Structure 1
Amino acid sequence: MINLTNYHVYIGKKQILKDINLNIKTPFTLLLSGKNGTGKTVFMNSLLGFHKTKGKKIFPYKKIIYIPDTPFFTEQFTVEEVLKTYRYFYNISIKQMINILNSLNFTYPLSYKISELSLGSRKKLEIIPLFIDNYQLYLLDETTNHLDKETINIISDRISNLTDTIIIDHNQDFINTLKNKNKNIKEAVCREKSIILSS
């Protein structure tokens, strides 16, 4: 669940979002929409404590998967180095991650550098954490960029089986697929420095 009352978000002294009032009960899939620059990612980051906030916040999650729109790895990383980093943070075996990649039709050797991968394959590496179980909340920021329809369908199936998820995505086909598969969809719009539930 997420409960926000008179919630404000700041970057430095600048107020980015104001007067947010949300009460969302578990289970939920929250779709955040709005024009670029309206504060969607800032809001997501504020829930994780990355920005100064004021107001009441009930956010009881301890085990969270966060997949940002920009990956942590550079083009000089190898695939294997990315997997080893995930192993360290998420306590998941290399074998399990290879199985996840196989299910996503990832075909590159572990020795390849990120610079040698297609954009879609880079994104498949980024979304590995989405398929790690036993987390309470999944935060997904533009996870479908450069992905084929088959992979997007796999992602939507996975999300439909999760308890609580917050999603930022501009892919309307993906959003429509989620709505068709998921009964717990909530939609919120970022505009005029606030976030308003629309469904």
Structure 2
Amino acid sequence: MKSIIENLLTFFIALTGLIGGLIWGMNSNWEPEPMIVTIVSFLEIISFIIIKSSKNNTDSNNTPPVNNSNSFTFVVNNEKEITNSEYEDRQKALTRLLFVDDNYTEFKIISILKKAGWINTKAVKDITDLDDSKVIEADIIFVDINGVGTTLFKDQGLGLASALKKKYPSKKIILYSAETTGDRFHKALKEVDSCLSKNAEPFQFINLIESYNK
């Protein structure tokens, strides 16, 4: 700040000297003294402009290069820059998954997802209240077709998934089942966001979650 003030002061003194020298010279038929003052002031102004321009070019050349590599960075909520890998890990930690499955303790995908970074993965045996706090908190809900929703719907998981999608249209509702037969024309199959075999590979569950997490 001090150097800026000093530079501006020098510039204005030189400018004042130039103007004063011109007036003095015109009034004295350009005697040596006013001519010297005018020339010196003019040279000081030119020097100031050249030095200032040179400094700006130097600052421009010292600007860090744009990162064009495959390792992208993001600024989240005015925090420090993070890599794309760190960003993905953060998104995983923020995404809340819920599995509604009467045999969830035997369903290995839940533990696999947690180990893969989806730490907010929860599971319940059934939903008896659509306003259940776990339902409200979840971003993506996986619903088993059989053995759940039995207290609320005669068509079990199909009815539950349909009701959840109608009540929470912004949530992603995914039906899954180990059964290969059943009502293939149930309206819930068209209302939910996706359907998946319970025997699908873990990467298929992960890919589906990631597609909704972008």
Say whether the fold is shared (TM-score over 0.5): no
**Between structures 1 and 2, the one with greater helix share:** 2
TM-score (norm 2): 0.29
- Which is greater in Rg? 2
